[in-house]
Amino acid sequence: MRTLLLIIKIVLALAFLIGLALGFFLLYSTLTDYRPDEKTEAESIEKSNTNIQKSELDLMIWNIGYAGLGAEIDFFYDGGTVSITPKPLVTKYLNGITSYLSQQKELDFILLQEVDFASKRSHYTQEDELIMKELPEFNSCRATNFKVKYVPKPFTNPLGRTFSGLQTLSPYSSVENTRYQFPGNFSWPVGLFFLDRCFLLQRYPVNGKELIVINTHNSAYDDGSLKQQQMDYLKSTLESEYAKGNYVIIGGDWNQTPPRYDNNTFLKSNGDQATPQTPVKEDYLQGWKWAADFSVPTNRKLSSPYNQEKTFTTVIDFFLVSPNIEILETKGVDLDFQYSDHQPVHIKIKLL
C-alpha cells in the first residue's frame, strides 16, 4: 500500500512539474510573441538611387522555401517527417538558389518569399545577406512574417527559433517601404507558433505617377477563412492605389490557384491524388489582369521527396496587375524543384 501511495505521489509530482513547465513555456511564448502593428516601416538597404526611366519592366517571383525544401526533402506539416533539413542539403539548395539569382541581374524586380534571416531550420544562415551579395547593385527590402523564439513542433526534432520573411530586390530607389499586417490568425496558443502573414508594399515614382510593387505570401494550412480575410484586406489597398492613378503590381505565393485554373492540370496517372486548393474568385477585381503560366507547375506536394512521375504539382505563384498595365509575357521556369518546393515565375509588363 505504501509503495502504491509513493508511486501515485511521484506520478502526481511529475504531472505537476510538467504542467508547470508547460505553463511557463506558454507564458514566455505569449510575452515574447511577435505582434507588429498594422503598418510598419520595412527594413531596407539602399545601394542605388536610380529612378525608373522606362515603361517596360521585367519581374520575377520565387518562394525559395528557406533553402530547406529541395527535391530530396518532405515536410512534416504536409504529411512528411522532416522538420530540420541536414546542413549539407541546405548549403546545396542555397547555392542553387543564389546561382540562379546571380543570373537575373537584368531584372527590374525580384520578389522572394520564405527567406530565412536566422532560423534553426536553415542552421541560422542569413540567407538575405547571401542573396544580396549575388546582386550587389540591387537595393534590398525585407518584411518579417515568421518570428518565434521557439517552435516546439514536432516534439522529436522541434523547429526551434524561426526568423524569416519576404525580400524584394531592385536596382531602383523606392520612396516608401511598408509592411502591412494581414488580418486574422490562428487562435491562441496555436497562433503563437505560426506565421504573422503580411505583404510588403514599395512605392516608386515613374511617368509622373507611382508604381506600387507588392510582395505577398498568403496563408496556408487554414480552412480558407484566413485567406478570405486577407484577400478582402488586400483588395481595399489595391483599389485605393489604382484610384489614385497609380500602376499596381502584386506577386508572390498566394497559396491559392489563379482563376480558371484546373486543379488536375499536372495530375499524373498512378501518382498522388490532387490536393484541394482554394481558387481565387474570377471577379475578385474587375478589369485587373492575372498573370500565371499554366504550362509550368510552381509548387509541389511535400508529403514525400519529389518524384517527377508521382508528386502532385500545381500553380499557386503568380501576379496580378492593374488595368493600366499590359502583360507582355508570363513564363514559369522549370527547375525540376531541385532547390525549393516552389519554382520561379517571370513576367514582362508595359506601363500604359
Q: What is the DSSP string of 46-86?
A: ----BPP--SEEEEEEEE-GGG--STT---GGGT---SS--
Q: How confident is the model over 217-254, as pLDDT tens digits?
A: 998 877 778 888 999 999 999 999 999 999 999 999 99
Helices and strands, counts by H and E, the chain: 4, 16
Mean pLDDT over 320-333 rounds to 98
Q: Which residue has the cell 505577398?
A: 216
Q: Which amino acid is at 244?
A: K
Q: Which residue has the cell 538575405?
A: 128
Q: Which is nearest to 62 in space by CA: 301, 252, 256?
A: 252
Characterise 264 by phi-psi region: left (phi > 0), alpha (psi -120 to 50), beta (else).
Answer: alpha
* 3-class SS of residue 264: coil
Angle, in degrees to the nearest 10, between helices 87-102 and 127-134: 30
Strand partners, 4: none
81's grid cell: 517527417
* Beta strand 39-41 pairing with 289-291: unpaired
Q: Which is nearest to 341 in space by CA: 103, 73, 147?
A: 73
CA pair distance 97, 133, nearest whole angstrom: 13
CA pair distance 260, 252, nearest whole angstrom: 18
Is residue 192 pLDDT above 60, yes or no? Answer: no
Q: Which is nearest to 132 in space by CA: 169, 95, 97, 166?
A: 169
Q: How confident is the model over 119-147, as pLDDT tens digits?
A: 999 999 999 999 999 999 999 999 999 88
Mean pLDDT over 96-109 rounds to 97
CA pair distance 78, 74, nearest whole angstrom: 8
Q: Which is nearest to 202 in space by CA: 232, 170, 227?
A: 170
Q: What is the torsional sign of CA 64, 259, 257, 211? A: positive
Q: How confident is the model over 4-45, as pLDDT tens digits?
A: 777 777 777 777 676 765 765 566 566 666 678 889 999 999
